[in-house]
């Protein structure tokens, strides 16, 4: 549930329809866990936002203004989800952007979703989506707001016993979940699909790739076929709100929840707590 919104620093929740975010999905966003009133891994989120803005040629509003607006919005908040959306701002009809772009900042606070503990403890059920991701190296990795593919994929199942849908590229290679990144463990090696032509490079994904060596694991981004995934020892999905969810089932294929997933999940939790109590 949406609890509070700031648009360009103002307490309001309406956007003029000339905004290119409405017209063309012309923007990008971050979804951030708020725990004990702190925006978790905020530096990484702002880094990615800035990188995405650069890739889409949207002027980055800058950390100082975003951080001060986050402070304002999080006042009195404890556990929540913070969404930061940046659009290319107002524009005329037509794809051509105005000569001078003034991006729109939409910061919104949402109640933290109530997930059963079992998702983290016993794992989740995943379905393979029919809908596939399209390839475009220029947009790959960015958390932009052109998300029809994810919306259509998420609409493929209604059963509450399925928690995530696995998406492939047009060639059938595994890329990610509708809302998460996917990791597999095979002989102590940690593998996650390469996101050079599609997919969203999640913050938690990046963090795990970075800290794997500290835990003595080899982590690799590579092409992952469905057969390769089915052959994994362990599988887990990640995002900034769920953290790590082990996968116990993909379609009718069962996986065990193993020690590597547990270790990564615990280490992530530790890093999060360090940041919150810093």
Question: Per the structure block, which two tokens stand in for 219?
Answer: 């982590």
As a whole number of angstroms, the distance between CA 184 and CA 122 comes to 16
Token pair of 47 as six digits: 């880094």
Q: Does 72 bind a second copy (CB under 8 A)?
A: no
Subset of 46-65 contacting a second copy (CB under 8 A): 56-57
- Binding a second copy (rule: CB under 8 A), the pick from 37, 83, 219, 267 is 83
| Contact call for residues 87 and 98 (beta carbons, < 8 A) | no
Q: How far is the CB of 43 from a second copy (least distance, A)?
A: 22
Does residue 31 have an active-site annotation? yes
One DSSP character per residue, 126-168 reads EEE-SS-BPP-TTTTB--BS--HHHHHHHTT---TT--EEEEE
Contact segment (CB under 8 A) with a second copy among 80-88, 119-127, 257-265, 266-274 equals 80-88
- Active site (annotated) includes residue 122: no
**Which residue in the list 164, 176, 178, 272 is annotated as catalytic?**
176
Among residue numbers 26 through 45, which ones bind a second copy (CB under 8 A)?
26, 31
Q: Are strands 218-222 and 104-111 parallel, antiparallel or unpaired?
A: unpaired
Of the residues 8, 15, 120, 189, which one makes contact with a second copy according to CB under 8 A = 15
Quick check: 97 binds a second copy (CB under 8 A)?
yes
Strand-strand pairing, 27-35 and 80-87? antiparallel
Rounded to whole angstroms, what are the CA distances from 122 to 116, 119, 129, 261?
A: 10, 6, 22, 11
Cα dihedral across residues 149, 198, 224, 173: positive or negative: positive
- Residues in 111-130 that interact with a second copy by CB under 8 A: 113
Give the shortest CB-231-to-a second copy separation in angstroms: 28
Given the residues 104, 127, 143, 192, the one annotated as active site? 143
Q: Which residues pair with 133 in a beta bridge?
A: 169
CB closer to a second copy out of 17 and 278: 17
Say whether residue 178 binds a second copy (CB under 8 A): yes
Q: Which of 73, 84, 106, 203 binds a second copy (CB under 8 A)?
A: 106
Distance between CA atoms of residues 219 and 235, nearest Å: 14
Catalytic residues, by residue number, are 31, 143, 176
Binding residues for a second copy, rule: CB under 8 A, are 1-2, 5, 7, 13-26, 31, 56-57, 81, 83, 85, 87-88, 92-97, 106, 108, 110, 113, 131-136, 138-139, 144-155, 170, 178-179, 198
């Amino acid at each position: 549930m949406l609890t509070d919104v700031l648009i360009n620093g103002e307490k309001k929740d309406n956007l003029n329809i000339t905004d290119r975010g409405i017209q063309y999905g012309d923007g990008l966003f971050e979804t951030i866990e708020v725990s004990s009133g702190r925006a978790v891994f905020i530096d990484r989120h702002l880094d990615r936002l800035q990188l995405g803005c650069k890739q889409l040629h949207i002027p980055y509003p800058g950390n100082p203004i975003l951080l001060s607006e986050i402070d304002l919005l999080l006042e009195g908040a404890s556990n929540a989800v913070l969404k930061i959306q940046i659009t290319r701002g107002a524009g005329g009809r037509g794809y051509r952007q105005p000569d001078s772009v003034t991006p729109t900042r939409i910061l919104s606070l949402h109640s933290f979703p109530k997930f059963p503990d079992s998702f983290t403890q016993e794992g989740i059920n995943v379905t393979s989506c029919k809908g596939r991701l399209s390839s475009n190296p220029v947009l790959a990795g960015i958390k932009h707001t052109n998300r029809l593919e994810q919306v259509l994929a998420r609409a493929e199942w209604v059963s509450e016993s399925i928690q995530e849908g696995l998406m492939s590229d047009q060639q059938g290679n595994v890329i990610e979940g509708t809302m998460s990144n996917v990791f597999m463990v095979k002989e102590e090696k940690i593998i996650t699909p390469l996101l050079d032509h599609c997919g969203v490079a999640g913050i938690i994904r990046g963090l795990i790739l970075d800290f794997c060596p500290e835990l003595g694991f080899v982590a690799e981004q590579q092409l992952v076929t469905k057969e390769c995934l089915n052959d994994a020892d362990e599988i887990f999905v990640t995002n900034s709100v769920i953290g790590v969810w082990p996968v116990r089932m993909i379609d009718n294929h069962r996986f065990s929840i193993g020690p590597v997933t547990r270790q990564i999940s615990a280490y992530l939790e530790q890093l999060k707590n360090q940041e919150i109590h810093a």
